[in-house]
Chain A
């Protein structure tokens, strides 16, 4: 194959990857609107059941889109079991300690003791539907958010630090913007989202296996659910 043909093939591949990443990101943010329309169409039906179905459908769609990559990651996981599990445990501990340090600094040094809207709503719903929130935080969010905030970015950005920074910023920004609105207090009190996203992106880059950040997020959320 000539150099020009190789280059053209590479460009096509990168463009396809970009198009897929953009589609997935946009789809993720339009999805709640589609569900809201469905809710208004089926007015009077059980919102909770519709909500659960919509969450499961979104996970299935994302898993289907990235099925080939996920199979490769699974093969890699089986091949490098020890190394990957060690990384998951170490980075989970780093995330828990990192988040605790950042929250401690924010509360004690900056005197901001504010529960983010995201955490607040999760805690409120947790009182009524503990199993639903358990399912969401331990299974749903790790799969969906790691695909949307990390896999899509890594497929496009090859530079290590640009990928890590962009992925962490993207995750941080949406956790503030989507639920709480952007103010000094919400930005600072949500800083731990950036730290957690940064550590998970680092682990993903290091292992090149999406199950690693998924498991880290799942274990961290499990830890928080237990202590809640």
Chain B
């Protein structure tokens, strides 16, 4: 069950990255992967900091 969720998540993320790559002229899909990874890291850090502050 958990594996399925991760597989779906991975597929959605990949298709999302590909869709973004197709419509973005400025970046290659390789660079876009880095951008998406960075974005996820920043979002996670900010969420963790807020959760810690609210504890």
- Chain A positions within 8 Å of B, measured between CB atoms, are 11, 14-15, 17-18, 21-22, 25-26, 29-30, 32-33, 36-37, 39-40, 153, 156-159, 162, 166, 170, 173-174, 176-182
In the bound complex, residues from chain A placing their C-beta under 8 Å from that of B25 are 36, 39
A-B contact pairs, 10 of them (CB 8 A): A15-B54, A21-B46, A25-B39, A36-B23, A40-B23, A166-B42, A166-B45, A170-B38, A179-B26, A180-B31
In the complex the two chains form, what is the Cα distance from A22 to B18 in whole Å? 22
CA distance A162 to B35 in the complex (A): 21
Nearest CB on B from A163, distance (A):
9
CB contacts under 8 Å to A, within B39-55, are: 39, 42-43, 45-47, 49-50, 53-54
Interface size class of B (residues with CB under 8 A): 20 to 34
B31 touches A178 (CB 8 A): yes
> How far is it, in angstroms, between the C-alpha of A37 and the C-alpha of B24 when the chains are bound?
8
Q: Are A162 and B49 in contact (CB-based, < 8 A)? A: yes
Contacts of A166 in B (CB 8 A): 42, 45
The 8 Å CB contact of A177, one of B26, B31, B43, B54, is B31
Quick check: B46 and A18 within 8 Å, CB to CB? yes
- Nearest-neighbour CB distance to chain A for B22, whole angstroms, equals 9
Is A15 in contact with B50, judged by CB distance below 8 angstroms? Answer: yes
